[in-house]
Structure 1
Amino acid sequence: MKKITFLFLFVVSSICVESQSYIGFLTDNYSGVNSVISNPANITDSRFKTDINLIGVSAFGGNDYYGVNVMDAFKDDYDFDLDAKKSPSTDNNAALNFDIMGPAFMFNLNKKSSIAVFTRARSMVNINEINGETVDDLDNDTTDDFYVNEGDFNAFGQAWAELGVTYARVLFNEGEHFLKGGITLKYLQGGGSAYATGKNLTVDYEADFFVIGGEPQARITTTGQVTYGRFDEFDNDNYDYELPEKATGFGGDIGFVYEWRPNYADYTSTSADGPTYANKNKYKLKVGLSLTDFGQIKYKNGLEETFDISNSVREDEINDEEDLNSVLNNLYILTNSKIGYTATLPTALHLNADWSFTNKLYVNLNTDYSLISKGKENASRISNIVSLTPRFESKWFSFYVPLSMVENNGFQAGAGLRAGPLYIGSGSVITALAGDDSKGADVYAGIKIPIYQGSTKDKDGDGILDKLDGCPDDAGPIENNGCPWTDRDVDGIMDNVDECPDKKGPQENNGCPWGDRDGDTISDNIDACPDEAGAIENSGCPFKDTDNDGVIDKNDKCIDVPGTVANNGCPEVLEPEVTQEIQKTLNAYAKTILFDSGKSTIKLVSNGVLDEIVNILGKYPSAKFSIEGHTDSVGSDALNQKLSEERASAVMTYLIEKGVSSTRLSSTGFGETRPMATNATKAGQAQNRRVEINLVK
């Protein structure tokens, strides 16, 4: 076994898959049935009556280990090992992707729904977590010995065919907001698969360890565990390929597309069976979200074997074996074996936004995100990608320049076009031709038969097709066969809505002149009571006196209760008098109001007393009261004056908040000027610190 063998196998398999097939082409509104692979909702409300794809092929290649100048690579003296730029890491990844879109067609069931049927053949290979630094060490001309410390890796490859049926329909179409959805169901036929995983793998190659028959012979010492799975006889050199038996499955895609159509009215026309849409772009912004390739293929006859490869063997022992299966089974220890395994499709989430500058110039932002983790076994996986694609688009020709950031490959620039039935392009051709360190390349091409929606003509722009328009040169409504309405009485109101087409009248009265049915000189359009004579100041209605007390309702504050004119129509109510006893009770309560020391804030304990005062004042709704604050002589005159005013105001504020009218209350402070006891003693000072509530006479 030679070092170049390891190097060759790694380089050949180090092909990084990109995210989606036909990069750039699928952003085109004229991609037709092909667009079903990125979002099944795309096929309805499209530019096509029907679209038939004959054949389309897309292939992707990339490399996160080697970077090359594509133009130099075709030169005779180009040395791949010496001239290519290497990017080894402990986690180099590998994959390969081919996508063949076979015969496919779509057609519209009606204006709101469409269906598509397609065939597709695909193959993908993923190799993850290859230790590229170890591979780089193999290219050492100073010795034939080498040591590979690979650690863990997993590799998986599968090929399969799809027969898909897609249904899509318009879900919401109201004004400038439009939503459509679609779903694809796919029958899957496995075309073959194989996978290998390694745990704690090492390889120690000693070139001249043995001498047998005078010839040096290498020893290969390996450690770790290898699991090898494949469908039956996949690695048999004598195997005559046939589709694997019992290798089928089901999958699907689902997607939605929202369109913002601020000028939606400009794109409608009318035909005999109602509204339709002209064959041109209708949206300013289109946003698509889809989930693709959820599903699995079950290889019921597949074989999975796990080996402990901790052993030392001679190189000629490996060379004597027929294939990898023989090497593993004859030279290493089989620790586990089972029949049947499941292969998972490359499930991915796609978010797409398309902005329309004009009917022919667009820019598209697309993100594809793999929902399959890098280390997942028996699963195909796409690389994550973000693409920005400006494009020119017309009915028979489109041109696009995708600019992408691809996982493991970095930046890539490409170009593509569609010319009638032909589409061709690449998501990386510019980068591949212009760069010195190109790690990716892809190409696609195909041919189809597009049958576009027919164009419509409406010369007068009234939304009625000329062939159905009674007046194709003069705009008019469909109710009048496309002809304008007349206005016999020349009042500015067309006869179709004028209830008095031979008499002038305002629009508010449907073209009829206003009358005065009750003869009160107020025209019916402003008369609130057009059948009863009334006063102008009462909007043409007679004034009422519901309680017959001589005070009309508009002046009567008690409409349903007879009263007096002097009391605005309300009955006179005698209010009780505030007696000396009530006055004493108020001040008895007021003197017990307590404040925080040196402050005007009322202590919570006094709330009950204040509420009693509120109850008393409520019994005398017309009486007015003065709230007076007093202090002792401790402190300065100015400070005591201010404190007495603030305490009186605080009590008044509390009473107002509890419902006493502010018009009935006033507050003032007297400071220390009106003592009711001597300030020489503590007891006297306590009596002087008080609030009084007195009737204002």
Structure 2
Amino acid sequence: MKKLILTGILLMFMVYGKAQSYMGFLTDNYSGVHGVISNPANIVDSRFKTDINLVGVSAFAGNDYYGVSFSDIFDDDYEFEDDAKRFPEDKNNLIGNVDVLGPAFMFNINEKNSIAVYTRARAFYNVNGVNGETLESLIDDLDDDISFNINQGDLYASANAWAEVGVSYARVLMNKEEHFLKGGITLKYLQGLGTAYARGTGLGVAFDADITTGNGSVTTLGEAAYGYSENLEEDLEDVEIVNGSSGVGVDLGFVYEWRRDYKEYTSTDSKGKAFTPKDINKYKLKFGLSLTDLGSISYDDGTEERYNFNNTLTQNDFEDIDIDELERFYGTPILVEAEKAVLPTALHANVDWNINHKFYLNFNTDFSLTSKEKTNRSRIANVVSLTPRFESKWFSFYSPLSLVQHSGFQWGAGLRAGPLYVGSGSILSLLVSDQSKAADVYVGLKVPVYQSRPKDKDGDGVLDKVDECPEKAGPEENFGCPWPDTDGDTVLDKDDKCPEEAGEVDNNGCPWPDTDGDSLLDKDDNCPDVAGPVENQGCPWPDRDSDGVLDKDDNCPDVAGTVANNGCPEVTEEVQKTLNEYAKTILFDSGKSSIKAESDQVLKDIISILNEYPTAKFTVEGHTDSAGSAKLNQRLSDARANAVKNYLIENGIDQFRLSAIGYGEDRPIATNKTRAGRAQNRRVEINLVKQ
């Protein structure tokens, strides 16, 4: 009996495993068709043109009751029941799976659509609610034939195997600069290969040993049900696939990428169509969310047997119980239709950080959505993992660090080298820990066909996909074509405002015009819209005073004059007469050259007239009568002429326009014999100097 119980315990707890498959490998952007396992959206915008899986196997084993040292189990003297560490709880749980991915392929229909088809065989087994604390006491007491009690309580166990054929479709839902979203769905046809399950309520065993006779009694308690598919009813060696054992399953998933640096790898052709290389990862952060294994398998001819275990047996009878002879001790079971096998439905969340083009850090969590306290439910263990990885087209290496429900911390490693992928989510923790509770491994072969590197034949940095001149280098802004110079004036058409007419570099490729037709180009013409002589920088000569004499020839450009007088006003005889009439009225003190005050107005009138002829020169002449000596008269006439001249200069008349001379009594204009005549001879005249 001791051997039977220990063997059962060992088998139960060593099949515990993380139900996740291919730990670490699925975080790789080069996992290809494997991407549909965790999220069907992964296959679109893939780094593969197509990816063909030949075969891949992933298996997991472990438990939350026994912890072992991986290196010790190979020692010849290792005794499992004595050397393994035990971790009993009131509810120990175990889960296990084997995942075989058979022939499978994915390919991109176009930039926005991808499909995958795969074949897969899977097996799950779960035992939940084993009372490890009671089990612990049982193991310690088995060496002594003494009484013991097992108070198991409720217990659920199931084993399911099936094959599936899946068809996945994924599509890009949004591609808008920094934001990229894709979604996918997988529809699966499920072929059941067999199911077996058991559940118990209030289970217990009480062993009352009889040391004297060696034949104690065993009291069993509780109710239980055992269900199985038709093909498991007889000997397992004769298991066959039965009709009516099928179902459907669905996976759904979405992936969002934050493409911070989208401008660095986005090219646009002349029609405005954007292009991004297919062979590189474009995201800085990627977020994935998926729901997998929605569905179940029905076994039409499956049977469930229900027993009431409330009975007392002898020790010998209890040890002789066979699973096929339960009715011998507990009566005829109640037979009902077997429960359908529910798939291990799970929610997966994933965040991937692109540290640079080769190194990544992935955070992933897998959360079971199936209850471990319901009948015939396959389930995964909840897992949180952090996986750093190095990733390139032909080689990747990753090392997941995980916290696994019931099994604690696991540390693994894996690699992908071209067609080969191999790894384990627990290999490193197995090597360093003396109480490992889980182990897993996977290996497989595939035929990857990678997206090719976009070509750039002319090496101008513009990919041929958007290069309108792929054989000739040109700038990106001209879509890979060299800028033309249609008119051959060395100014490229992009900068040439007259691309079809040769011109000057300084005039943006246009010839300099001569708008006014005066033979002087506008660039040198100060008056480009009005014809003018070259010597005046293309401007017409002005005539500011409008006297018909151009300013360049006008000695008085601001005062109207006559052509004959070079543009200056002419002093007419009438003006000359007026001047002298004014001048003759200038009064001096008797016998002196000082001008009397009452002559100021006359002098101002003279100044006003002189200002009207700014270029005319005048002589101020002084005259006397014949009274007195001729010498004195001469001196007096000089003094009086200069006195008038000085007065005029002091009041604004240019000194270079005036001269003064005294004639004394030499030029009388009347007789000196009369007082009236002498008065006329005492005078000052202002006469024009003829040029």
Q: TM-score, normalised by structure 1?
A: 0.68
Secondary structure at the residue paired with 2:171?
strand
Specify whether residues 346 and 492 from structure 1 end up closer, same or farther in structure 2 by C-alpha distance, changes over 3 A only: farther
Q: Return the offset for 1:145.
A: 3.3
Structure 1, residues 230-289: CA drift from partner, whole Å, max 9, x if none? 112525337611013211000010101111111223334579996352411111111111
- Provide Cα deviations, 1:303-351, integer angstroms capped at 9, x if missing partner: 0121111011234435555x41322x22114463212421100000000
* Other-structure match for 2:201: 199
Structure 1 5/498 Cα, relative in aligned 2: closer, same or farther at 3 Å?
farther
Alignment counterpart, residue 401 of structure 1, candidates 394, 399, 402: 399
Alignment partner, residue 632 of structure 2? none
How many angstroms does 1:109 deviate by? 1.0
Amino acid at match of 2:411: A
- Please tell me the residue identity of whatever aligns with 1:385: V
Q: Distance in 1 between matches of 2:188 and 2:473?
A: 51
For 1:253-652, what aligned pairs fall within 5 Å after superposition? 253-268=251-266, 275-318=275-318, 320=320, 323-327=322-326, 329-334=327-332, 336-458=334-456, 459-465=459-465, 469-470=469-470, 472-477=472-477, 482-484=481-483, 486=485, 495=494
Separation in 2 of the partners of 1:320 and 1:33?
Answer: 51
| Alpha-carbon distance in structure 1 between the residues aligned to 2:413 and 2:470 | 49
Structure 1 residue 139, shift from structure 2 partner? 2.0
Listed as ranges, the matches of 1:22-101 within 5 Å are: 22-101=22-101
Whole-angstrom distance in 2 between the partners of 1:198 and 1:454: 58
Q: Secondary structure at the match of 2:33?
A: helix
Give the Cα separation in 2 of the matches to 1:503 and 1:360: 53
Residue 323 of structure 2 aligns to which amino acid in structure 1? L
Report deviation, 1:402. 0.1
Give the conservation status (yes or no) of the 8 Å contact 2:484–2:492.
no
Q: Distance in 1 between matches of 2:52 and 2:401?
A: 29
- 1:464–1:478 Cα contact (<8 Å) kept: no
1:209–1:219 Cα contact (<8 Å) kept: no
Which is worse superposed, 443-452 or 67-76? Answer: 67-76
Deviates more, 1:455-464 or 1:80-89: 455-464
Query: What's the CA shift string for 1:411-450, capped at 9, x where partnerless?
Result: 1100000011000000000001110111111000000000
Is the Cα–Cα contact under 8 Å of residues 50 and 107 in structure 1 kept in the other structure? yes
Please say if 1:248 is aligned against 2:246.
Answer: yes
Alignment partners' CA distance in 1, 2:120 and 2:186: 13
Report the 3-state secondary structure (helix = DSSP H, G, I; strand = E; otherwise coil) of the residue aligned with 1:96: strand
Return the letter of the residue paired with 1:196.
A
- Return the index of the structure with the highest Cα Rg: 2
AA matched with 1:432: L
Residue pairs, 1:218-229, within 5 angstroms: 218-229=216-227
Once residues 17 and 71 of structure 2 are traced to their aligned partners in structure 1, the CA distance between those partners, rounded to angstroms, is 22
Aligned to 2:581: none
| SS of residue in 1 equivalent to 2:475 | coil
Cα displacement (A) at 1:377: 1.6
Matches of 1:430 and 1:105, distance apart in 2: 31
Q: What does the per-residue CA deviation read over 1:619-654, in whole Å, with 9 as the maximum and x for residues that have no partner?
A: xxxxxxxxxxxxxxxxxxxxxxxxxxxxxxxxxxxx
Cα–Cα, structure 1 residues 470 and 451, in superposed 2: closer, same or farther, change >3 Å?
closer
* Contact map agreement 1:267 1:278 (CA 8 A) in 2: no
For the structure 1 residues 102 and 150, does the alpha-carbon distance in structure 2 shift closer, same or farther, using more than 3 Å as the test?
Answer: same
Deviation at 1:11, TM superposition (A): 2.3
Unpaired runs of 5+ residues, structure 2, are 513-691
Q: How far apart are the structure 2 equivalents of 1:347 and 1:25? A: 21
CA RMSD of aligned residues (A): 3.1
Q: Answer yes or no: is the 8 Å Cα contact 2:231–2:239 preserved in 1.
A: no
| Contact kept? 1:7, 1:135, Cα under 8 Å | no
| CA drift at 1:356 | 0.5
Q: Corresponding residue for 1:10?
A: 9
Contact 1:17 1:60 survives alignment (8 Å): yes
* CA apart distance, 1:203: 0.6
| Stretch deviating more after TM superposition (288-297 or 461-470) | 461-470
Distance (whole Å) between structure 2 residues aligned to residue 135 and residue 417 of structure 1: 40
> What's the CA shift for 1:165?
0.2
Distance in structure 2 (CA, Å) of the matches to 1:195 and 1:286? 40
Alignment TM-score, normalising by the size of structure 2: 0.68
Q: Which of 175, 189, 192 lines up with 2:191 in the alignment?
A: 189
Is the contact made by 2:19 and 2:60 (CA closer than 8 Å) also made in structure 1?
no
Unaligned runs of 5+ in 1: 514-697
Matched-pair identity in %: 50
The alpha carbon displacement at 1:88 in A equals: 0.2
> Residues of 2 paired with 1:46 and 1:277: CA distance?
11
Give the secondary structure class of the aligned counterpart of 2:232: coil
Deviation track 1:584-640 (CA, whole Å, cap 9, x = no partner) reads: xxxxxxxxxxxxxxxxxxxxxxxxxxxxxxxxxxxxxxxxxxxxxxxxxxxxxxxxx
Distance 1:443 1:414 in 2: 9
Q: Residues 153-232 of structure 1: matches in 2 within 5 Å?
A: 153-208=155-210, 211=213, 216-232=214-230
Alpha carbons 1:19, 1:385 under 8 Å: kept: no
Q: Is the 8 Å Cα contact of residues 466 and 472 (structure 1) preserved in structure 2?
A: no
Name the SS of the counterpart of 1:139 in structure 2.
helix
Q: Measure how far apart 1:63 and its partner are.
A: 1.1
Distance in 1 (alpha carbons) for counterparts of 2:442 and 2:85: 26
Are the aligned partners of 1:92 and 1:132 in contact in 2 as well (CA < 8 Å)? yes
Out of 147, 150, 163, the residue aligned to residue 148 of structure 1 is 150
The farther-off stretch of 338-347 and 238-247 is 238-247
Deviation at 1:496, TM superposition (A): 8.6
In the TM superposition, residue 84 of structure 1 has moved relative to its aligned partner by 1.4
Question: CA–CA distance in 2 between the matches of 1:271 and 1:243?
Answer: 57
The yes-or-no answer on 1:117 pairing with 2:121 is: no
CA contact (8 A) 1:271 1:464 kept: no
> SS state of the match for residue 277, structure 1?
coil
